[in-house]
Amino acid sequence: MTPHERYERWLEECEDERLLAQLEALDAEDDDLIAELFSTQLELGADGLVCELGAGANRLNPISLGRLVQGYASELKARAKHVVVAIAHDTHAEALALAQSCAGVLAANGIDCQMVDEPAPLPLLSYAVRELACDAGIYVGGGAADASCCGLRFLSAAGATLGEKATSEVNEAARGLDELDDVRSIGMQSAHTLGRIRQMDARIADEYLASVMADGLSEAGDETCRLDVTLTTLNGAALAAMTSAFDRLGLGRITYVPEQTTPDSSFSTCNPPDPCSAASLATALERCEEASSDLLIACDPEGRRLGVAIRENARYRLLSDGELANLLVDYVCRMREHRGNDMGQSLVLGACGVAPLAEAIAGEHGVAIERRLPYVAQGAERLVRLAERHEEQRMALGFFGDGLYLVGSHCCEADAIAAAVLVCQMARHAKRGGTTLAEQLEWISYTHGSRAERVLAIPFAGMDAAKTRAGVLASLRSQPPTSFAGTAIVRVDDYLADDCPYGTCDMLGFALEDGSEVLLAPDGSRMTLNARLIARGDTVPRAEERATSLEGAARFLVAGRM
């Protein structure tokens, strides 16, 4: 079927008035646009799916989403007669409506749903799936993506984002389906009448928070030290959970960012709502400076990604992934050592290319870091295996870049609420000891050398976006550059190689002669190629200068292979 034929079918058979209006507004003579919208169908990536909302087989809407959910429903029904799925959503536009569409498809397939009616953080859903003995979970939300996007994530019975094998199975099951003819669905009212949908028990939120607090670390007397925090959840779903966690910690003054406390699908003061972006946090940083807080804590609308800014003299500094990971690894190891844990059995998971100094820091405490591919699902799989042996308490920390942290064993997803609790405990412990996180970073830099990090997301668009992105990596793999930003490349790491110790992934790493590192990896949920750049220098300013040159070289390299 050609893109134009599929477009004509959608025009004839689409019953959604809003989508139909968008379809009718399209220029049927615009071959490129019709091809972009209808030549391909949505597929799940290694970290779920995030894409632009709108009409078309290659945009996120109830019809395109329904095909993926139908595929997942078929997989679930093949394993068990009675299936229960938990469903939640964030505050992105259409997230609630799309979550209800998911429930309608599941109910039509004889699957029971437990739904959270109000926006809820993803880690809460992960916890609920396991504690309520559900067979699976579905989360609808865009996370740190901008207001024009939303996303879809399927969770396993362990509450973890599906791994590579399960994701491939769902994509294969959905690939053979026609989104207009093969998807079974009923309305919410009919699903309620049939008893297929019920509201999730409110007690699960309190139990989740109790588990988060139980996984925290502190030393006797730390709670007596006042810590003032500015908090923003970027118009997202985690405000209630984050506020309750901070109340239980007994911190000092909590300053909120009033423009970002209520749901706002336009994210008018923080679009995109990315807690790791200084531009997205501009308003929050202003409020933090006005309040003279010790810390700024920020999370994305899903409650999955964490951003932290610390006070450094008279200004605030947004920590990079590596800086925060280094601090947390040091703190977690010291606290577990103080508690008498067997450090040789303690487990820290780290994504390739993130926080290279963490291995040296952990090694000082006798802890070896297990490196993984940069997807939380990799860490979740390890945590599930530990739980099967009742060894989940060995898990000390997992860090995967982009503000994603596994903290404790209460859920199998990145949890910004739990990570924020750990950061506040760490900052309060340092303050009680007469130091600051900024000073601790200086000591790490002095001991292990200065590094600067950049994460560059290079977008790919059009109907051949996936093919073009894969072609760039294939070109670099077959004809790797010999130098990068004027420095010789001394080692190329190919993560598709059979002997790759971390598993296979279409990802490349370049080690430079000056100690800098470059990692090129496709995003797990968006159509971007992410370049993670770690620059090394004699001083912090020189490392930052070097990082800027690496960023320019990465753009030039990718553009030249497109």
Q: Cis peptide leading into 272, omega within 30 of 0? A: yes
Looking at the structure, tell me whether residues 509 and 443 fall in a common domain.
no
Looking at the structure, tell me whether residues 145 and 197 fall in a common domain.
yes
Ranges of H-type helices in 389-501: 416-432, 437-448, 465-478
Q: What is the pLDDT of residue 117?
A: 87
Q: Which residues pair with 150 in a beta bridge?
A: 51
Looking at the structure, tell me whether residues 427 and 353 fall in a common domain.
yes
Looking at the structure, tell me whether residues 218 and 77 fall in a common domain.
no
Tally of CB atoms within 10 A around 130: 21
Strands in 174-259 per DSSP E: 197-199, 229-232, 254-256
With the C-alpha atoms ordered 403, 407, 410, 413, is the resulting torsion angle positive or negative? positive
Burial environment of residue 432 by CB neighbours within 10 A (0 to 12, 13 to 18, 19 or more): middle
Looking at the structure, tell me whether residues 291 and 439 fall in a common domain.
yes
Q: Domain holding 527: CATH number?
A: 3.30.310.50
Looking at the structure, tell me whether residues 121 and 159 fall in a common domain.
yes
Looking at the structure, tell me whether residues 318 and 282 fall in a common domain.
yes
Q: What is the pLDDT of residue 219?
A: 82
**Domain endpoint, select from 392, 415, 447:** 447
Q: What is the pLDDT of residue 505?
A: 82
* CA-wise closest residue to 430 among 346, 360, 327: 327
CA-based radius of gyration for the chain:
23
With the C-alpha atoms ordered 251, 257, 261, 263, is the resulting torsion angle positive or negative? negative
Looking at the structure, tell me whether residues 442 and 330 fall in a common domain.
yes
Q: What is the pLDDT of residue 215?
A: 84
Q: Are 348 and 369 in contact (CB under 8 A)?
A: yes
Looking at the structure, tell me whether residues 180 and 226 fall in a common domain.
no
Total number of domains in the chain: 4
The side-by-side arrangement of strands in the sheet containing 405-406 is 369-372, 347-351, 395-399, 405-406
**DSSP secondary-structure letter at 134?**
-
> Which tokens is 56 given?
């078309």
Looking at the structure, tell me whether residues 51 and 149 fall in a common domain.
yes
Looking at the structure, tell me whether residues 166 and 196 fall in a common domain.
yes
Q: Domain holding 307: CATH number?
A: 3.40.120.10
Alpha-carbon gap, residue 218 to 222, rounded angstroms: 7
**Domain endpoint, select from 405, 422, 447:** 447
Q: What is the pLDDT of residue 32?
A: 87
Tally of CB atoms within 10 A around 166: 18
User: pLDDT by residue for the chain (562 residues), tens digit each?
Assistant: 888 999 999 999 988 899 999 999 998 888 889 998 998 899 998 889 999 999 999 999 999 999 999 999 999 999 888 999 999 999 999 999 999 999 999 999 999 999 998 999 999 999 999 999 999 999 999 999 999 999 999 999 999 999 888 999 999 999 989 999 999 999 999 999 999 999 999 899 999 999 999 888 888 888 889 999 999 999 999 999 999 999 999 999 999 999 999 999 999 999 999 999 999 999 999 999 999 999 999 999 999 999 999 998 889 999 999 999 999 999 999 999 888 888 888 889 998 888 888 888 999 999 989 888 888 888 888 888 988 899 888 888 999 999 999 998 899 999 999 999 999 999 999 999 999 999 999 888 888 877 888 888 899 887 788 889 999 999 999 999 999 999 999 999 898 887 777 777 888 999 999 989 999 988 877 889 999 899 988 888 888 899 999 999 999 999 998 8
Q: What is the pLDDT of residue 1?
A: 80
Q: Are 453 and 317 in contact (CB under 8 A)?
A: no
Looking at the structure, tell me whether residues 183 and 281 fall in a common domain.
no
Domain residues for the domain of 56 are 40-201
**Domain endpoint, select from 387, 415, 447:** 447
